[in-house]
Amino acid sequence: MSPSQSRDKYWHPWIHHPALRTGVRMGIFLSVVLTAWLVLANRVSVLDRLAIVRNAAALTLLFMVALEPVARFRSSARDLLVSGLIGWAIGSLCYFGWTIYFVQLSNRMGPFQVFVLGAAVYILLAVIVWISGMVRIARQHHQLAAKAKLHHTHL
């Protein structure tokens, strides 16, 4: 077995799991948007006049990136939760790194608070997806039972 085959043997399940891959990609995108936002807000003084627009645009981008697991795993609560928590954890680690550089950043909200806020949202969304899946299964079961009952009454 070659070294690359040995390495692929251990990495294969991680690379090919859609929830993990989506979570890592989302975390990287969150980190890029957060970094760009902080650099523009603190190093490009020309945009100070447009702070409200700049902040709204950055928050919109963060929101759109954070919706990726919801859009991709709208029928799997487990994958939605795993993907969302991984991505949000990576984004929170990036936020933590920037709080070391920009000391005043953590005055408003600390890195752990940012993580818990995002985790709570993804947990809530996963519960909603899970409950809606249970309702969908119950409806299907009820419809099948009604069809079977109707079929037996006509025999």
Give the count of domains, the chain: 1
| Range of the structural domain that residue 123 is part of | 3-153
List, for residues 2-25, the tens digit of each pLDDT value. Answer: 555 555 566 566 678 899 999 999
Find out whether 30 and 87 touch, Cβ atoms under 8 Å.
Answer: yes
Give whole-number Cα distances, 145 to 20, 57, 80, 137, 141, in Å: 38, 51, 31, 12, 6
Reported confidence tier of residue 40, pLDDT bands at 50, 70, 90 = very high
Q: Among the ranges 77-81, 107-111, 136-140, which has the highest mean pLDDT value? A: 77-81
Statement: residue 97 has pLDDT above 90: yes
As given in the structure block, the two tokens for residue 18 are 């859609």
Average pLDDT over residues 72-84: 96
Q: What percent of the chain has pLDDT over 70?
A: 84
Q: What is the distance between the alpha carbons of residues 7 and 146, in angstroms, rounded to a whole number? A: 53
Residue in the structure block whose two tokens are 């919109």 = 60
pTM exceeding 0.85: no
